[in-house]
Amino acid sequence: MSVHKKIKKVTTHVLQAMKNRSEKITMLTAYDFSMARILDAANIDVLLVGDSASNVMAGHETTLPITLDQMIYHAQSVVRAIDRALVVVDLPFGSYQGNSKRALDSAIRIMKEAGAHAIKMEGGIEISESIKRILSAGVPVMGHLGLIPQSIYKFGTYTVRAKEDAEANKLIEDAKALEELGCFAIVLEKIPAKLAKQVTESVNIPTIGIGAGPDVDGQVLVTHDMLGITKDFKPRFLRRYLELFDQIKLATEQYISDIKSGNFPNDREQY
For ligand KIV, the closer CB: 70 or 265: 70
Tell me if 196 contacts ligand KIV by CB under 6 A.
no
Tell me if 90 contacts ligand KIV by CB under 6 A.
yes
Tell me if 183 contacts ligand KIV by CB under 6 A.
no
Tell me if 50 contacts ligand KIV by CB under 6 A.
yes
Among all residues, which ones are annotated catalytic? 189
Which of positions 207-246 make contact with ligand KIV (CB under 6 A)? 210, 220, 222
Backbone phi, psi, residue 254, to 5°: -65, -40
Half-sphere exposure for 140 (CA within 13 Å, toward CB): 18
H-helix segments, 99-164? 100-109, 128-136, 152-155
Backbone phi, psi, residue 221, to 5°: -135, 160
Q: Which of 40, 51, 217, 225 binds ligand KIV (CB under 6 A)?
A: 51
Instruction: Answer whether 35's CB lies under 8 Å from 44's CB.
Output: no
Tell me if 26 contacts ligand KIV by CB under 6 A.
no
For ligand KIV, the closer CB: 183 or 220: 220
Tell me if 29 contacts ligand KIV by CB under 6 A.
yes
Helix (H, G, I), strand (E, B) or coil at 247: helix
- As a whole number of angstroms, the distance between CA 34 and CA 28 comes to 14
Residue numbers at the binding site for ligand KIV (CB under 6 A)? 29, 48, 50-52, 90, 187, 189, 210, 220, 222
